[in-house]
Chains A and B, each alone.
Chain A
Amino acid sequence: MPIKSYLAHPHENQKETLVAELSSLDNCEVIPAENKDVLILVTDTKDKTEEANLKDQLDTIKSLKLLAMVSGFNSPKN
């Protein structure tokens, strides 16, 4: 049941769109920076299948330029 955090970088002028698109996904929590074009994405999935499904959904988001993982706690109960 992985919990992972990422720094998500939007394409130019698409920060608000990215916030909206990520926020609409299940298992995602979004914390936008106030003054920079970056936001924190925290994903909380039940298992590897759900994790893979989420990854597929993230790959389709056009406003997302780069997703860089910062931490991943990948153990059954963590």
Chain B
Amino acid sequence: MYTSTSNRRSFIKKMAVLSAMTAAASMFPGIIFAEEQQRNLPKGDLDWKKAPCRFCGVGCGVMVGVENGKAVAVKGDPNSAVNKGLCCVKGYHSVMAFYGKDRLTKPLVKKNGRYVETSMEEALDLVASKMQETIKDHGKDSVSIYGSGQWTIPDGYAASKLFKGCIGTNNVEANARLCMASAVTGFMTSFGIDEPMGCYEDMDHADVFILWGNNMAEMHPVLFSRLLDQRLKRGVKIIDFATRTTRTSMAADKSILFLPQTDLAVANAICYEIINNGWVNKSFVEKHCNFSKGLTDMGYGLEDKYSFTDKPEKISFEEYKTFLEDYTPEKVEKISGVSAKDIKYMASFYGDPNKKVMSLWCMGMNQHTRGTWINNLVYNIHLLTGKISQPGNSPFSLTGQPSACGTVREVGTLTHKLPHGVVANAEHRAFAAKIWDVPAENIDPKPTYHTVEMFRALDRGDIKFMWIQVTNPMVTMPKLKRYRDATKKEGRFIVVSDIYPTPTTDIADVILPSAMWVEREGMYGNSERRTQHFEKMIDPPGEAMSDTWQLVEVAKRMGFEKQFYYNEETHIEEIYNEYRRHHDNDKHRMAPLEVLKEESGAMWPYVDGKSTKWRFNAKYDPACSNGEDYHFYGKPDGKAVIWQRPYEPAAEEPDAEYPYWLNTGRVVEHWHTGSMTRRIPVLHRAMPHAYVELNPGDAKRMQVKTGDKMKLTTRRGEIILPASVNERGVPAPMQVFVPFFDENMLINDITLDSFCPISKEPDYKKCAVKVEKA
């Protein structure tokens, strides 16, 4: 980072150009910047085919240019409602990720401590036989699969069917547990049904955007450009409410900083203001909302086999109002560091009946030991004011991965889930079993392990076999050292399917080379319930095979030929059509495959040939059936829940020994752990390694300048990183930020594995750390 300033400046310049192009495209539909768009495209006759972008959860439509069997270019899909023809720098360079020099092309099996090449047939035989042997010796719950929000829909479906339906274990988890689980439990507790009620089109209608701990400028740059475009066109306001000053703060109309974890208190203070000023939409609340409280002092999941079940209890509006007396702006100012004036300022937008407000969030609210609660609290604000399920009035949980919604949340690749419903429900089990063609008794009614506990079970030896696909947990797990050591213990067998060597393939007994993105056919589902299809455009290298087909082959070898009857040529279509049967109802109907092939995605529920843009609003959502304007049909009584949730401190807060807050996250150049983007030269050169951002005042006091080596120590260990002062992001005093993409500087070795007791999602944003010059 510090030796390649010119590369980085050129990268930033490119970002600036792309932001402007995106804004222009929104203002002038059909605008062409031919010179810029054509500059990097290869000459010749390219065959352009549509796909959703491989990277983040925005789900931009891209066109992939193929020449002589090679993907050589990418451009934005002008027909995509998501990005209107443009995409960010990662998207533009995505096809280069196919062609890294060290691409895995042959299966590798560890023998006597060394990896030996073998054939795919032999490797799949070994995976199947090892899994069968483990089940025979230790029971069905000794085997597990750990997948990803980057799994395609068919990948996740095949995994769930094999493990839950055929083998009969609920040891199915995915890395979306680490990024989206609190969003899911937020939706489930407030509305009884998952995923946002609105869509990206809300951005074209809202007057005010409040970003809750959400660095959109780096993490969702195309969507952020849409906000900037709306500011140019309509003068909308963007308020960045965060713990750290970022590029988003710099571009926002107002940046408000809060102390870590205190967003809970501020959200309650906003609700206090709404009630105190008479801004409650009384008829909406009376008709469509209940009030509830749950258990408090839940703990933080730090101990093995921790369990928690909430006990919701209905309360009255008056009780809720009394509870909020503890959260006046003046009291909350003392907890949060946010002035009462700024709290009232934010509340005034939510309270103004003439302002449409969109709240946006992602990891800041989800990776939180009270992640479910803070999701509930932001919904409270929108429910109290009735600003929900209408164009422009929209609480919107953004997702991080291309199919965290489409695969993990909708197919249900989490321990408690089925494609429709949950394993604990006998009707849901029977329904899934019928479609899967397995006895209903095969599906275990009891969820087993969420992600952190699954790796703890591997450490304890309760799990002996783990198959990891499309994810890199040996970079991303919190308190990583414990879980890395676990994989090396005697009697564990790890299979890893990936496209490049990673720290996770390093711990594998079998490495299966995977086909990537458009080297196979598949679908992703993005943040706005949009399902998008992509066809196979190029051949994968060597013996690389799609994750879906790897699962099908292993299932057949394990004796499940009847359930995995699919034909290799048509299996994606067969699987998708089978999957659609799970959602064959007006609340979640998926678009037919031919629609997805023709259009740039469709939003479920897809009813009578139409996508549903705003759920729960009878004007737009055919599933509303209560005869009212709004129907929160996820709950049995059709009402959403306003939750009484208090502020509680983080699991580990700074003290005399570890006086700083440690916050971790992503950077715009790299996709998550960088296993793909670090092999794209322009992105790698722009951001070659991790760093620790310091507040300039702290740096001055410690006499630290950019590039100096810093030692970070937590109760889990220590790490050395170069300092970054007054560069991209600026943490508040006594806080530091470290990106997690760099496998050579594994910040997760020192993070804490505390999690939200309801969602079981770890908090990567807060633990205590000592910071000193190395």
Do A and B belong to a common assembly? yes
User: Contact flags (1/0) for A10-37 with B, using CB distance below 8 Å?
Assistant: 0000000000000000000101111110
Q: Decide: B20 and A73 in contact? CB cutoff 8 A.
A: no
Of residues 117 through 140 on chain B, the ones whose CB sits less than 8 Å from some CB of chain A are none
| Chain B nearest Cβ from A28, distance in angstroms | 12
Most A-side CB within 10 Å, residue of B13, B229, B250: B13
> Is the pair A40, B251 in contact by a Cβ cutoff of 8 Å?
no
With A34-B32, A35-B32, A71-B228 already in contact, the answer to whether A76 and B727 are too (CB < 8 A) is yes
- Find out whether the CB atom of B726 lies under 8 angstroms from the CB atom of A75: yes
Give every chain A residue within 8 A of B656 (Cβ-Cβ): none
What distance in Å separates the Cβ of B166 from its nearest Cβ neighbour in chain A?
A: 51
Q: Note all chain B residues with C-beta closer than 8 A to A40.
A: 17, 20-21, 24, 33, 36
Q: Which one of B21, B32, B36, B728 lies within 8 Å of A78 (CB-CB)? A: B728
Given contacts A31-B35, A33-B33, A78-B8, contact A7 B24 (CB under 8 A): yes
Question: Does A64 count as interface, using CB distance less than 8 angstroms?
Answer: no
Indicate if the CB atoms of B12 and A34 lie closer than 8 Å. Answer: no
Q: Is B23 an interface residue (CB 8 A)?
A: yes
Residues of chain A within 8 A of B32, CB atoms compared: 33-35
Contact call B33/A31, Cβ cutoff below 8 A: yes
Contact call A78/B228, Cβ cutoff below 8 A: no
Closest to B232 in A: A68
A4-B16, A40-B21, A75-B726 given as contacts; is B31 within 8 A of A35 (CB)?
A: yes
Q: Select A38's contact among B12, B15, B31, B217, beta carbons within 8 Å.
A: B31
- Interface contact A33-B232, CB-CB below 8 Å: no
Does B321 sit at the interface, judged by CB under 8 A?
no
- Quick one: closest B residue to A75, CB to CB? B727
Given contacts A5-B16, A44-B13, A70-B225, contact A38 B24 (CB under 8 A): yes
CA gap between A29 and B20 in the complex, in Å = 12
Q: Is residue A54 contacting chain B, with contact meaning CB distance below 8 A?
A: no
Give, as a whole number of angstroms, the nearest-CB distance from B504 to chain A: 32
Choose from B17, B34, B728 the contact partner of A5 (Cβ within 8 Å): B17
B542 at the interface (CB under 8 A from A): no
Q: Does B336 contact A (CB under 8 A)?
A: no
| Neighbour of B9 across the interface among A3, A7, A68, A72, CB < 8 A | A3
B567 at the interface (CB under 8 A from A): no
Q: Which residues of A contact B228 (CB under 8 A)?
A: 70-71
Query: Within the complex, what minimum Cβ distance (angstroms) separates A25 from chain B?
Result: 16
Q: Could you give, for residues 16-52 of chain B, a 1 whenever the CB lies within 8 Å of some chain A CB and a 0 otherwise?
A: 1101110110011011111110000000000000000
Interface pair B232/A77, CB less than 8 Å apart: no
Query: Does B489 interact with chain A (Cβ within 8 Å)?
Result: no
B247 contacts the other chain (Cβ, under 8 Å)? yes
| Proximity string of chain A (35-63) to chain B, C-beta cutoff 8 Å, 1 when within and 0 when not | 11010101010000000000000000000
Q: A77 touching B727 by the CB < 8 A rule?
A: yes
Minimum distance in angstroms from B481 CB to a CB of chain A: 33
Contact residues on A (Cβ < 8 Å of other chain), bracket:
20 to 34
The answer to whether A70 touches B250, judged by C-beta atoms less than 8 angstroms apart, is: no
Q: Does B79 contact A (CB under 8 A)?
A: no
The secondary structure that dominates the A interface is strand
Chain B nearest CB from A32 CB (Å) reads 8
Number of interface residues of B (CB under 8 A): 34
Give the distance in Å from the alpha carbon of A72 to the alpha carbon of B728 in the complex: 12
Q: Answer whether A31 and B12 are a contact pair too, CB < 8 Å, given A70-B23, A70-B225, A71-B228.
A: no
- Is B307 engaged at the interface, CB distance under 8 Å to the other chain? no
Distance in angstroms from A73 CB to nearest chain B CB is 5
| Contact of A3 with B35 in the complex, beta carbons under 8 Å | no
Please, which residue of chain A has its CB at the minimum distance from the CB of B11? A78
Please, which residue of chain A has its CB at the minimum distance from the CB of B39?
A31
Residue B585 CB within 8 A of the other chain = no
Inside 8 A of B23's CB, which chain A residues have their CB?
A: 7, 70
A63 CA / B358 CA spacing, docked (Å): 37
Contact A31 B728 (CB under 8 A): no
Report how far A32 CA is from B250 CA in the complex, Å: 26
The interface residues of chain A lying within 8 Å CB-to-CB of B34 are 34
Cα–Cα, bound, A76→B5 (Å)? 11
Which of B15, B24, B27 makes the CB contact (< 8 A) with A73? B15
**Bound complex: CA of A4 vs CA of B250, how far in Å?**
12
Task: For the complex, give the distance between the alpha carbons of A71 and B21 in Å.
Answer: 11
Q: Which residues of B contact A73 (CB under 8 A)?
A: 12, 15-16, 247, 250
Q: Which one of A36, A72, A77 lies within 8 Å of B8 (CB-CB)?
A: A77
Contacts of B728 in A (CB 8 A): 75, 78
A38 to B25 CA separation, bound complex (whole angstroms): 11
- Rounded to whole angstroms, the CA-CA distance of A29 and B14 in the bound complex is 11
Instruction: Assess the A42–B726 pair: CB atoms within 8 A.
Output: no
| Bound Cα distance A38, B33 (Å) | 10
Interface-centre pick from B33, B35, B232 (highest chain A CB count, 10 A): B33
Q: Are B250 and A6 in contact (CB under 8 A)?
A: no
Q: Are B15 and A31 in contact (CB under 8 A)?
A: no
User: Chain B residue with minimal CB distance to A35?
Assistant: B32
Least Cβ distance of B707 to chain A in Å? 11
Hey, which chain A residues are within 8 Å of B225, CB to CB?
70-71
Question: With A36-B28, A73-B15 given, is the CB distance from A7 to B36 under 8 Å?
Answer: no
Contacts of A35 in B (CB 8 A): 30-32
- State which residues 279-312 of B face A: CB under 8 Å: none
Distance between Cα atoms of A75 and B5 in the complex (Å)? 12
Interface centre among A6, A33, A74, A76 (most CB of B within 10 A): A33
Q: A3-B12, A34-B33, A40-B33 are in contact. Are A72 and B17 (CB under 8 A)?
A: no
A71 pairs with B9, CB closer than 8 A:
no
Question: Contact at A70–B20, with CB atoms within 8 Å?
Answer: yes
With A and B bound together, what is the CA distance between A3 and B33 in angstroms?
20
Residues of B within 8 A of A36 (CB): 24, 28, 31
Residues of A within 8 A of B250 (CB): 72-74
Residue ID in chain B nearest A78 by CB atoms = B12
Which residues of chain B come closer than 8 Å to A5, judged between CB atoms? 16-17, 19-20
| Cα-based distance from A68 to B20 in the complex (angstroms) | 10
Contacts of B19 in A (CB 8 A): 5, 70-71
Give the residues in chain B near A31, CB-CB below 8 Å.
17, 20-21, 33, 35-36
Contact assessment for A71 and B251 in the assembled complex, using a CB-CB cutoff below 8 Å: yes
B727 pairs with A42, CB closer than 8 A: no
What's the minimum C-beta distance from B38 to chain A, rounded to whole angstroms? Answer: 10
Collect the chain B residues with CB atoms within 8 Å of residue A1's CB. Answer: 9
Complex: A72 Cα to B224 Cα, angstroms = 13
Residues of B at the A interface (CB closer than 8 Å) are 5, 8-9, 12-13, 15-17, 19-21, 23-24, 27-28, 30-36, 217, 225, 228-229, 232, 247, 250-251, 706, 726-728
The 5 closest A-B pairs by CB, nearest first: A5-B16, A71-B19, A5-B20, A40-B20, A34-B32
Given A29-B17, A31-B35, A33-B28, 20 new contacts (CB under 8 A): A5-B16, A7-B232, A33-B33, A34-B32, A34-B34, A36-B24, A38-B27, A38-B28, A40-B20, A40-B24, A44-B9, A68-B232, A70-B20, A71-B225, A72-B251, A74-B250, A77-B706, A78-B8, A78-B9, A78-B12
A-B contact pairs, 28 of them (CB 8 A): A3-B12, A3-B16, A5-B16, A5-B19, A7-B232, A31-B20, A31-B21, A31-B33, A33-B33, A34-B35, A35-B32, A36-B28, A36-B31, A38-B28, A40-B24, A42-B13, A44-B9, A68-B232, A70-B16, A70-B232, A71-B20, A71-B225, A72-B250, A74-B250, A76-B727, A78-B9, A78-B727, A78-B728
